[in-house]
Amino acid sequence: MDRVALQAELVAALGADAVLTDPVSLRAYECDGLTGYRVVPACVVLPRDTAQVAAAVRVCARNGVPFVARGAGTGLSGGALPVADGVVISLQRLRAVVSVDPVNRRAVVEPGVTNLDISRAVAAHGLYFAPDPSSQQVCTIGGNVAENSGGAHCLKYGFTVHHIHEIEVVLPDGTVTTLGGPAPHQGGYDLLGAFIGSEGTLGIVTRITVKLLPRPAAVQTLVADFPSVEQAGDTVTAIVAAGIVPAAVEMMDALAIEAVEAAVSAGYSRDTAAALIVELDGPPAEVTAQFAEVERLCHEHGTTKVHVAPTPEARAAVWKGRKAAFAAVGRISPNYFVQDGVVPRTRLAEALTRIGELADEAGLRVANVFHAGDGNLHPLVLYSEARGEHERAEHLSSSIAELCVDLGGSLSGEHGIGTDKACSMPRQYDDADLATMTLLRRAFDPDDVCNPGKLLPTPRLCGERPGPHRPHPLEAAGLIERI
Amino acid sequence: MSTSFDARRPPQREVLDDCVHCGFCLPTCPTYAVTGTETESPRGRIYLMDLAAQGTIGVDEAFGEHIDSCLGCLACVTACPSGVQYDRLIESVRPQVERNVTRSRADRLFRGLVFALFPYPNRLRVAALGGLVYQRSGLRALVRRLGLLDRLPARLRALESLLPPVTVRALLARTPERTRPPGAARLRVGLLAGCAQRVFFGDVNAATVRVLAAEGCDVLVPRDVQCCGALSVHAGREDEGLARARATIEMFERYRLDVVVANVAGCGSTLKEYGALLADDPAWAERAAAFSATVRDVTELLAELTPQAPRHPVAARVAYHDACHLANAQRVREQPRAVLRAIPGLQLQDVAEAELCCGSAGIYNLVQPVTAEELGQRKAANLEAVAPDVVVTANAGCLLQIRRFLDAGIPVLHPVQLVDASIRGCDPV
Amino acid sequence: MPTTRFTPSDVDELRAVLADTTASHPRLLVEGAGTAATTGGRPDPADAVVDTTGLSGVLRYNPADMTVAVRAGTPLTQVQAELAGQRVAFDPARGRRGATVGGLLATADGGPARQQFGVLRDLVIGATVVLADGTVAHSGGHVIKNVAGYDLAKLFHGSLGTLGVVAEVVLRLHPLPRHVVTVAVPGPAEEATRTGTDLLGRGIEPAALEWTPDSGLLVRLEGTEEGVLARAGAVEAVGGTILSDDAQAAAWAGVDAVADPAAPGTTVLRAGTLPSDGPGFVATLAAAAARAGADLAVSSGVGTGVHTVALTGGDHAAVLAAAHAAAGPAVTVLRHDGLDPDAPLWGPPPAAVALLRAVKQRFDPTGRFGAGRLSPWLAPVRDVPATEGVPA
Ligand SMILES: Cc1cc2nc3c(=O)[nH]c(=O)nc-3n(C[C@H](O)[C@H](O)[C@H](O)COP(=O)(O)OP(=O)(O)OC[C@H]3O[C@@H](n4cnc5c(N)ncnc54)[C@H](O)[C@@H]3O)c2cc1C
Ligand code: SF4
Ligand code: SF4
């Protein structure tokens, strides 16, 4: 469709202050947290409410123009990458906490509210929203629903999908519906569950009823240093085998610790090979009993130092360090890729050894930060654009994702498939699996206008035999730029 | 790679590269909070600077608009886990925009007016006297009632309503050049009287001098008519700013001081930056660095000095607002709180969205009045929510801005005024 | 009653059965252990039954990873028995009667442990399903954290055999608690809701929080011995009594008996409300039952707002109508033995009913599976006034 006509139609529907058309503004939306892919959209709209979102989607649907929802743009798989000649629908002006129901422990919020602001808004009632992605201070709840985001505390509490009661959705044809319900046990297929994690491909979430949890009565956190990543990994297995479900079990290797200390001086030991963070929460007596056992298990597996966070402030410092880890790597390397893969917990040590070997072969460094409790790895591949290491780094990063699948795991634990891994999906799923997933997509979006090209591989983007290392055909076609 | 910046101090590539596009800075950015657009966020601004550095986009009006709209509050610097020195970026890009973007006539005139007025105390004093007549004579009320103001451009309206309630006494008060402590002097301290400050906040300067003297400082206040250059530096008027910096250093050097104290956060942060600003000037680099090392905010100095003057109780609920140029630019957050907490009977309240700028930031409220107004209202609402007896902040701009939006019954003071009241045992208001 | 019965024993056989019989047996009824044969509708006559009980057995148990992959026709009890020191943290009443994992998923069943662990939707980490044309599709995998691709297991949760056949399921496991104690706090529903809300707010973390009129509020606490006893003490302090092991077993058997009663002619429904609306909802149904001359047994999840109601004697249709009026689409009829054959089992359709139909249409375009179940929601659009599709 003619760009100018499209812009005019959107201005007519939403008002001029909700539509960005100048080329400079559009450039600022050309990528999300994954800057390797860039596409300039035809137009960006910033609706203020559900009706405006629906109006924008209807304009798109009527004209067959693809659209992409965008939250805070922190996604790390290119999920919010614009589609060429398409519209970006930013949810940054839907930021209201609509209501809080402390008795039933839930809140109704708009999609642009940040994950952390939900917890802030309900803190006075002793409640919080449990999923805690490291980006929680900035990522939106709409993005969390789209990505089924998780965080350090998901080991005990589950992911976003376990914490949503109901969503209001603008479907790809511009109609508005709700999935789930205020009450549990809604009849029929669990469309709410299927929608969560669909990466913006099934519709745009405009209102969310989140489940809130009471703040745990007690929390205890320790950081244990280990002389090797393997020993730290074995400790995790031992903790779980002892029947303990910690709130969180996180691990960082030496390189990651170096970056974190450079960024926020959180008090991690700089001279250790691996640091394990274990947090227990729950009823005080339960926590005390299990915490002693965790400490014992750390010592049994050769910890060199156990540091127990003595105060809430000290605990906050531990987490601040851990949560700043990705961005902090910017302090020790000019460029880096964040990888996100999952292996069965028991194969963690094997995975790390293999990653080390792959890194050596490539002559690059890899910092490891991960959710050890559920086997979710975040290898950070460090490289220098200036030294021309981009391609090698990208190759290494993809090899690591494939390694995870080969070890019986998954391409992604929380960052999603998006643009980045769409062409790798065939590594994990066969044609029939992907065709069946497409059935679901078409039930919601028969005309393929809602975030097309993401999540599932398409022949146009991935060629006949999809694989992760070939140049993206969008690049070849000059539609996207990769640095 | 061709770049769209001119050769004079373009933003540095290494600094641009530090940004990993994670967005952690977004929620703390006041302009993003108000607009929700990427181009009005630190991440977006850095991204556009990067594109301009690569020559992908030009340094033109469309670009300049997003640079102009930045408050320079530096909340993003505090929030950034990747250590991006946005302060350095914006300070090198602002002059680029000043030089390379032709502004509209109205814009030029208004900016000219602000810069012709604020840095010169005498001109400002005359303008303020005019303003006083205007306020007192009922003219103001009349103008307001007739709705004339609504017809003025928003920017002039902002200027008008910022005029603080001035008293003739405060206006004409000049701080003595030297005030000796009651006993032996612990330190020889110079106070920057400020330009806008000297006119509008004679009371604050007087309080500062009394408190420092009570705490054993020999206090010297240069009488020269001198602006530190903060307003110019923050607005990208680089040459003007550097000239003022050199003159200010020279002025203080005459007094052989242990410490140079600022009680306006925006000025203090600029004084501390002289070293970096003049680093490229071989004749001045060393002098400037040595000078900057002696600079302290008054609350910083008070927190360092073991109190010697007894404090009397001040029973008040106090909401402390972090001035951006103190909290973010100078990283002074704890000291003012500590100084306030040391006052018996004083109750310090936490305020929601404490990291969000009040919309004052230098001359921002004058040149970007709509955003500034929204931020001012938001800040006032957050402050009022804790039902304070007094709101306290350590920057002249914040004081003016907050006073404009806050419930008129709540006084807005500088922290040093509370300390002064506590030492003197009198009512602070 | 169809005479043909297919009993495949693995995915391949199942795929072959479905692919090879599209012409000969166009309409199929999927059946597991038969414990929920009447849940969610009265199946229309079919050409054959696909019996999943042959799809049985644990495929892969990884104790250290705490996952287990099973064939969908495996009874839940059998899965639990093969786990060492671990469990599927899921306790639907029908489990005792041999209900299969696949059947429990398709019926969206659950028990009191829903309070802490949810239902199968929350515990399934991977699934293999076979569609009408024999397409075999997997989603998820063997790791507890995984966001690659759409989650088909969720889609099949509550599908009642209308989308395809669940063939294999991978489940997340939890440790067996070292110590379990139940504390009973007598009192009516309102009081139980207040007490329950208070206990939750104080971070007691009960594993189950169920109220029945006879037992009062049952608070199940699981964990270490010290931890459980300390928490039990806190519940005693609000008027609770720690139950002996026998009394504890009896109390939970009583809860199960509501959802899966032995008496013939019983109607069982399950409904969801806001937790705070629970007591009112129960009172409404009790009043309707009294008017209709029916005996009503109930158990309510105080923290979750999920209520199970069993009716014996009298007119059940009026009580069901009251439930539909109060809880809308959040009402499922688990058993309709006491209802007229033509009594409507489903209430007002959910807002997204058009999407339910679109999904059904895409997955099962020829309408091979489960006709009669989930009707009338899945009926063609003209038969049901849709509340969905209102442009904003
Ligand atoms: C430093 C850093 C750390 C991170 N740590 C974690 C982590 O620990 N765990 C984790 O899970 N993720 C993490 N992420 C990834 C990212 O923050 C999450 O995926 C987050 O949920 C994205 O939210 P967003 O608002 O930024 O969404 P965006 O990036 O804007 O969008 C993400 C996807 O969601 C879609 N979308 C956005 N809003 C809507 C809506 N309202 N309706 C429908 N679709 C929508 C978009 O189309 C896109 O496909 C991290 C990212 C960064 C930069
Ligand atoms: S400035 Fe810092 S916080 Fe902001 S996007 Fe860049 S790296 Fe992230
Ligand atoms: S200095 Fe303030 S206004 Fe400017 S980008 Fe940073 S946070 Fe935003």
Tokens of A256: 């990651």
- Do A320 and A364 fall within a single domain? yes
- Do A337 and A481 fall within a single domain? no
How far apart are the C-alpha atoms of C33 and C54, rounded to whole Å? Answer: 10
Q: Smallest Cβ distance to C203: which of A101, A282, A439?
A: A282
- Do C253 and C319 fall within a single domain? no
- Do A258 and A367 fall within a single domain? yes
Find chain A residues with C-beta within 8 A of C354's C-beta. Answer: 177
For ligand 3, is residue B94 a contact (CB within 6 Å)? no
Q: The domain that contains A201 carries what CATH number?
A: 3.30.465.10
Put simply, whether A90 touches B (Cβ < 8 Å) is: yes
- Do C162 and C195 fall within a single domain? no
The answer to whether the CB atoms of A28 and B44 lie below 8 A apart is yes
Find the closest chain B residue to A265 by CA distance: B81
DSSP-assigned letter for residue C279: H
**Residue among A147, A149, A40, A146 nearest A87 (CA):** A40
Ordered DSSP codes for A247-289: SEEEEEEHHHHHHHHHHH-----TT-SEEEEEEEEESHHHHHH
Confidence of residue A401 (pLDDT cuts 50, 70, 90): very high
- Do A179 and A167 fall within a single domain? yes
C314 domain residue, yes or no: yes
Residue A341 has pLDDT above 50, yes or no: yes
Q: Mean pLDDT over all residues of chain B?
A: 80
Q: Calculate what percentage of chain B has a pLDDT beyond 90.
A: 29
Find chain C residues with C-beta within 8 A of A130's C-beta. Answer: none
Over residues C30-83, the pLDDT tens digits come to: 999 888 888 888 888 899 999 999 999 999 999 989 999 999 999 999 999 999
Q: What is the pLDDT of residue A478?
A: 54
C293 domain residue, yes or no: yes
How far apart are the C-alpha atoms of C75 and C63, rounded to whole Å? Answer: 19
Confidence of residue B196 (pLDDT cuts 50, 70, 90): low
Over residues A19-57, the pLDDT tens digits come to: 999 999 999 999 999 998 999 999 999 999 999 999 999
Gap from CA of A112 to ligand 1 centroid (Å): 11
**Residue among B414, B412, B429, B215 nearest B314 (CA):** B429
Count of C-beta atoms within a 10 Å radius of residue B329: 24
- Do C151 and C89 fall within a single domain? yes
Q: Mean pLDDT over all residues of chain C?
A: 93
Find the closest chain A residue to C302 by CA distance: A104
Q: What is the pLDDT of residue C181?
A: 97
How far apart are the C-alpha atoms of B3 and B49, rounded to whole Å? Answer: 10
Contact C8, C14 (CB under 8 A): yes
ipTM above 0.90, yes or no: yes
For ligand 3, is residue B33 a contact (CB within 6 Å)? no
Q: What is the pLDDT of residue A325?
A: 86
Contact B5, A116 (CB under 8 A): no
A 323-362 residues with CB below 8 A of B? 324, 326-331, 334-336
Over residues B130-165, the pLDDT tens digits come to: 444 444 444 444 444 444 444 444 554 555 555 555
Host domain of residue C277: 264-336
How far apart are the C-alpha atoms of C238 and A405, rounded to whole Å? Answer: 51
Q: What is the pLDDT of residue B114?
A: 52
Of residues B83 and B235, more confidence is placed in: B83
Most confident of A262-266, B60-64, B366-370, C85-89: C85-89
Confidence of residue A263 (pLDDT cuts 50, 70, 90): confident
Q: What is the pLDDT of residue A467?
A: 43
Q: What is the pLDDT of residue C379?
A: 78
Of residues B428 and C136, more confidence is placed in: C136
Q: Which of A418-427, B191-200, C115-124 has the lowest mean pLDDT?
A: B191-200
Contact A424, A466 (CB under 8 A): yes
C360 domain residue, yes or no: no
Work out the average pLDDT over A446-461. 92
SS3 label, residue B83: coil
Q: Which atom of ligand 2 is nearest to the CA of B86?
A: 1
- Do A85 and A138 fall within a single domain? no
Q: What is the dihedral of CA A261, A265, A266, A270, to 10 degrees?
A: 40
The answer to whether the CB atoms of A191 and C149 lie below 8 A apart is no
Q: What is the pLDDT of residue B203?
A: 81
Question: Phi first, then psi: what are they for A71, rounded to 5°?
Answer: -95, -115
Task: Tell me how many domains chain A contains.
Answer: 4
Smallest Cα distance from A459 to chain B, Å: 30
- Where do the domains of chain B lie, and which CATH numbers do they carry? 13-100 (1.10.1060.10), 105-170 (no CATH), 173-303 (3.40.50.1860), 309-424 (3.40.50.11810)
Q: What is the pLDDT of residue B147?
A: 44
Contact B194, B167 (CB under 8 A): no
Question: Phi first, then psi: what are they for C199, rounded to 5°?
Answer: -65, -40
Q: What is the pLDDT of residue C335?
A: 94
- Do C50 and C149 fall within a single domain? yes
Over residues A194-224, the pLDDT tens digits come to: 999 999 999 999 999 999 999 999 999 999 9
Task: Tell me how many domains chain C contains.
Answer: 3
How far apart are the C-alpha atoms of C71 and C49, rounded to whole Å? Answer: 18
How many Cα atoms occupy the beta-carbon half-sphere of B186 within 13 Å? 15
Over residues C10-36, the pLDDT tens digits come to: 999 999 999 999 999 999 999 998 888
Over residues A134-163, the pLDDT tens digits come to: 999 999 999 999 999 999 999 999 999 999
How far apart are the C-alpha atoms of A134 and A107, rounded to whole Å? Answer: 22
Residue B171 has pLDDT above 80, yes or no: no
Gap from CA of A420 to ligand 1 centroid (Å): 14
Q: What is the dihedral of CA A68, A71, A74, A77, to 10 degrees?
A: -30
Most confident of A249-258, A344-353, B95-104, B105-114: A249-258
The answer to whether the CB atoms of C148 and A439 lie below 8 A apart is no
How far apart are the C-alpha atoms of A152 and A139, rounded to whole Å? Answer: 15
C350 domain residue, yes or no: no
For ligand 3, is residue B76 a contact (CB within 6 Å)? yes
Task: Tell me whether chains B and A touch (3+ CB pairs under 8 A).
Answer: yes
Put simply, whether C144 touches A (Cβ < 8 Å) is: yes
Smallest Cα distance from C11 to chain A, Å: 14
- Do A268 and A380 fall within a single domain? yes
Residue A420 has pLDDT above 50, yes or no: yes
- Do C233 and C276 fall within a single domain? no
Q: What is the pLDDT of residue B111?
A: 57
Q: Calculate what percentage of chain B has a pLDDT beyond 70.
A: 77
Number of H helices, E strands in chain B: 25, 9
- Do C186 and C143 fall within a single domain? no
Q: The domain that contains C252 carries what CATH number?
A: 3.30.70.3450
- Do C254 and C120 fall within a single domain? no
- Do A173 and A226 fall within a single domain? no
Q: Which atom of ligand 2 is nearest to the CA of B18?
A: 7
Residue B94 has pLDDT above 50, yes or no: yes
The answer to whether the CB atoms of B23 and A334 lie below 8 A apart is no
Find chain A residues with C-beta within 8 A of C175's C-beta. Answer: 240, 243-245
Q: Mean pLDDT over all residues of chain A?
A: 92
Spatial CB neighbours of B258, under 8 Å, sequence gap ≥ 6: B187, B188, B189, B294
Tokens of A281: 């929460």
Put simply, whether C123 touches A (Cβ < 8 Å) is: no
A80 domain residue, yes or no: yes
- Examine the fold and report which residue of A193, A214, A235 is the final residue of a domain before the chain moves on: A214
Q: What is the pLDDT of residue B145?
A: 45
Q: Which amino acid is at B11?
A: P
- Do C145 and C237 fall within a single domain? no
Nearest ligand to the CA atom of B28: 3
Task: Tell me whether chains C and B touch (3+ CB pairs under 8 A).
Answer: no
Tell me the β-bridge partners of A381: A337, A366
The residue whose CB lies within 8 Å of the most ligand 2 atoms, and thus the one to mutate among B15, B19, B49, is B19
Q: What is the pLDDT of residue B96?
A: 93
Q: Which of B13-22, B356-365, C151-160 has the lowest mean pLDDT?
A: B356-365
- Do C125 and C10 fall within a single domain? yes
Gap from CA of A139 to ligand 2 centroid (Å): 13
- Do A383 and A396 fall within a single domain? yes
Q: The domain that contains C287 carries what CATH number?
A: 3.30.70.600
Work out the average pLDDT over C147-170. 96
Host domain of residue A296: 218-406
How far apart are the C-alpha atoms of C188 and C196, rounded to whole Å? Answer: 12
- Do C185 and C229 fall within a single domain? yes
The answer to whether the CB atoms of B37 and A23 lie below 8 A apart is no
Contact A156, A248 (CB under 8 A): yes
Nearest residue CA, atom 7 of ligand 3? B29
Q: Calculate what percentage of chain C has a pLDDT beyond 70.
A: 96
Gap from CA of A131 to ligand 1 centroid (Å): 13
How far apart are the C-alpha atoms of B275 and B266, rounded to whole Å? Answer: 16
Work out the average pLDDT over C240-260. 96
C373 domain residue, yes or no: no
Contact C387, C328 (CB under 8 A): no
How far apart are the C-alpha atoms of C211 and C302, rounded to whole Å? Answer: 6
How far apart are the C-alpha atoms of A422 and A453, rounded to whole Å? Answer: 8
Q: What angle do CA A434, A425, A233 make, to 5 degrees?
A: 125
Confidence of residue C372 (pLDDT cuts 50, 70, 90): confident
**Chain A to chain C, count of Cβ pairs less than 8 Å apart?**
300
Q: Which atom of ligand 3 is nearest to the CA of B72?
A: 1
- Do A245 and A374 fall within a single domain? yes
Residue A483 has pLDDT above 60, yes or no: no
How far apart are the C-alpha atoms of C116 and C198, rounded to whole Å? Answer: 16
Nearest residue CA, atom 35 of ligand 1? A200
For ligand 3, is residue B267 a contact (CB within 6 Å)? no
Confidence of residue B172 (pLDDT cuts 50, 70, 90): very low
Over residues A274-301, the pLDDT tens digits come to: 999 999 999 999 999 999 999 999 999 9
- Do C301 and C218 fall within a single domain? no
Over residues B276-306, the pLDDT tens digits come to: 888 888 888 899 999 999 999 999 999 998 8
Distances (CA, A) of C318 to A11, B227, C293: 53, 84, 10
Over residues B308-354, the pLDDT tens digits come to: 889 988 888 999 998 888 888 888 999 999 999 999 989 998 888 88
Work out the average pLDDT over C207-213. 97
- Examine the fold and report which residue of C317, C336, C355 is the final residue of a domain before the chain moves on: C336
Most confident of A54-63, B266-275, B314-323: A54-63
- Do A254 and A384 fall within a single domain? yes
Distances (CA, A) of B278 to B90, B243, B258, B265, B272: 16, 10, 21, 20, 11
- Do A48 and A76 fall within a single domain? yes
- Examine the fold and report which residue of C204, C238, C258 is the final residue of a domain before the chain moves on: C258
- Do C116 and C244 fall within a single domain? no
- Do A283 and A388 fall within a single domain? yes
Handedness of CA B125, B126, B131, B134 (dihedral sign): positive
Q: Which of B25-34, B363-372, C9-18, C199-208 has the lowest mean pLDDT?
A: B363-372
Q: What is the pLDDT of residue C382?
A: 40
- Examine the fold and report which residue of C336, C354, C372 is the final residue of a domain before the chain moves on: C336
Tell me the β-bridge partners of A378: A369
The answer to whether the CB atoms of A27 and B51 lie below 8 A apart is yes
